[in-house]
Amino acid sequence: MSQRSRSVPAVLAVAALAAAGLSACSTPEASPGVTDDTITVGTHTPLTGPAAAGYSSISAATKAYFDYVNDNGGINGRSIEYVVKDDGYNPATTQTVVRELVQEDEVFAVLNGLGTPTHSSVVDYLNENEVPDLFVASGSPKWDQPGTYPWTFAYNASYIVEAKALATYAQETWPGKTYCVLGQDDDFGTDFTTGLITVLGADGLASTQTYSVSVQDVVAQIGAMQAAGCEVNFLATVNGFTALALGTAAKMKYQAQWVSSSSGGDYPTLVGYLGEDVAPLLLQGFVSSNYLPFSPDDEWVALFREINDEYNGGAPFSGNTVFGMSVGFLFAQALAKAGDDPTRESVLDALEVGALTGNGIVPLSFSKDSHAAFEGVGITAVDQGVQDYVGDVFTTDGGDGDVVPYTGEPVALEGDGIPTA
C-alpha cells in the first residue's frame, strides 16, 4: 500500500474528530442542576431561630407553587425541585448551607435567600462561582450592583424605596407630627433610615432607635421614643420585633401611629405573635408598604389560596404565602424564557433583556443596568382586621430622586398562572 493510500484513513479520522469537536462546541454544556426532566434550585431561610415565626412559611409557599406547576407539566417539560436549607438567620450557618447547596446538591441557582445579614455572608461566594443568585429576600440596595455582583438579582423593593414612599405618605397624611424610627442594627435599619431622611430631611427624625435580634427586649427603645414625644413611628423591623414594639408600647400605655416596612408588616403574621384577642386593637390603623397582589378580592390572591389549600396543606394564608408563591412564579417565568435547554447564562439573559413581568403592582425594573426588581410600593392599612391598599402607589429610586404616584395597572393574571415561553 502506498504512503498516500495509508494516509487517507488517518486524514478522515482527524476530520471526524474535528467535526465532533465543533459539534461539542456548538452545543451548550448543561448547567449544574439541569437534567432532561428536572431542574433543581435551593434556598437558605430561617426555619428555626429568631426570625422563623415570621418567615418560615415563605419557602413552603414557594414549594407549593412549584408542586402546582409540576402537576401541570412543569416548565418546558421540566419539573422544578426545591431544596430548602435552614440557616436559623445566622450568617455563619448560611455560609455552611449555601456551600452544601452549591457543592453537594449542585443546584442550578440559589433562589430567594432570606435576610440582609445572612445573604451578605454568601453573595461574594455565589458570584465568584457564577451561581445565579436570584430574587434575594431582602430590601438591601446591595443586591442591585450589576458591576460588582453580576449574578445577583433583588426581589424586595429596597428599604430606601419603601422608606421614601412611607415618609411621603406620612407627610401627606399626618403633616406636622413628630416622626421617629426604630430599626434593626444592620443594613436593614440603616438603609431604611437613609430613605426616611431623604424625604423628611436631616432633622426630620426626633429619635432614632435600634435593636438587635439577639435581644428580645425593646423597653428602652420604646421608652426613649415616648420621652421624645414621637407621634408617628417608622419601623425597620422583622415581624417578631414589630409585634414586640407594639406590645411593649401598649404595656407602657404609649399610643402612636405605627408605619412599617413590608418586611415586618404582614397582618396575619403579626396576629400570630400578638394573639387574636388583642391584635385587632393594637393593629387598628397600622400602616405598611407592599408591592405584590394583596387585596382580598385580587385574582392572584384567589389563585394562590387555591394552591395553598391543595398543595400546602391549607396552611394559614398570609402575605408570606403571596410572597413565596410570587417568587416561584417569577422563577418559573424566567425559566420559561430561558429556552428549552436552559443554562445559568440564559436565565440571566432573560432577566437582563426585560422579558419578565412578574405579578407585582408596579413593573419589574430588571435590565443590564438594573438588578432591582420593584422600584415602587403601595401603601396598606389595617381597618377592622382587614389589611388592604389605600391611597397612591408610589415609585422612586434608591437615591435622592423624587417620589411620584404611579398610574399604571397591576400585572393581570393570565390563564392558570403558569408561565409559557
Q: Which residue has the cell 476530520?
A: 15
Determine the Cα–Cα distance for residues 325 and 261; give it in Å rounded to an integer: 20
Does the domain at residues 38-157+294-374 carry the CATH identifier 1.20.1440.80? no
Determine the Cα–Cα distance for residues 208 and 228; give it in Å rounded to an integer: 10
* Distance, CA of 71 to chain centre: 25
What residue type is 264 in one-letter code?
G
Determine the Cα–Cα distance for residues 236 and 190; give it in Å rounded to an integer: 9
Cell of 101: 447547596
Can you give the pLDDT at residue 5? 38
> For residue 215, how many C-alpha atoms fall within 13 Å in the half-sphere facing its CB?
10
Determine the Cα–Cα distance for residues 356 and 353; give it in Å rounded to an integer: 8
We find that the CATH architecture of domain 160-290 is 3-Layer(aba) Sandwich (3.40)
Can you give the pLDDT at residue 296? 84
Can you give the pLDDT at residue 415? 85
Per CATH, 38-157+294-374 and 160-290 having the same topology is answered yes
Task: Give how far Cα 213 sits from Cα of 104, 238, 271, Å.
Answer: 31, 9, 20
Neighbouring C-beta atoms of residue 368, cutoff 10 Å: 13
Determine the Cα–Cα distance for residues 226 and 230; give it in Å rounded to an integer: 6
Contacts of 178 (CB under 8 A, 6+ apart): 206, 228, 229, 230, 231, 232
Contacts of 410 (CB under 8 A, 6+ apart): 293, 359, 360, 361, 362
Alpha helices for 27-141 (secondary structure H):
52-55, 57-71, 91-99, 116-120, 123-128
Tens of pLDDT along the chain (421 residues)? 433 333 333 333 333 434 343 333 434 577 999 999 999 999 999 999 988 988 999 999 999 999 999 999 999 999 999 999 999 999 999 999 999 999 999 999 999 999 999 999 999 999 999 999 999 999 999 999 999 999 999 999 999 999 999 999 999 999 999 999 999 999 999 999 999 999 999 999 999 999 998 999 999 999 999 999 999 999 999 999 999 999 999 999 999 999 999 999 999 999 999 999 999 999 999 999 999 998 888 999 999 999 999 999 989 999 999 999 999 999 999 999 999 999 999 999 999 999 899 999 999 999 999 999 999 999 999 999 999 999 899 999 999 999 999 999 999 999 899 998 7
Radius of gyration of the chain (CA): 24
- Residue 224's nearest CA partner among 211, 237, 209 is 209
In eight-state DSSP terms, residue 141 is: G
φ and ψ at 182, to 5 degrees?
A: -120, 120
Question: 377 pairs with which residues across the strands?
Answer: 394
Neighbouring C-beta atoms of residue 411, cutoff 10 Å: 18
What pTM does this model have? 0.88
Q: For the stretch 191-212, what's the b/e string if a residue is b when 16 or more beta carbons lie within 10 angstroms of its beta carbon? A: bbbbbbbbbbeeebbbbbbbbe
Residue ranges covered by each domain of the chain: 38-157+294-374, 160-290
Q: Which residue has the cell 405618605?
A: 169
The sign one gets for the Cα dihedral 280, 282, 286, 291 is: negative
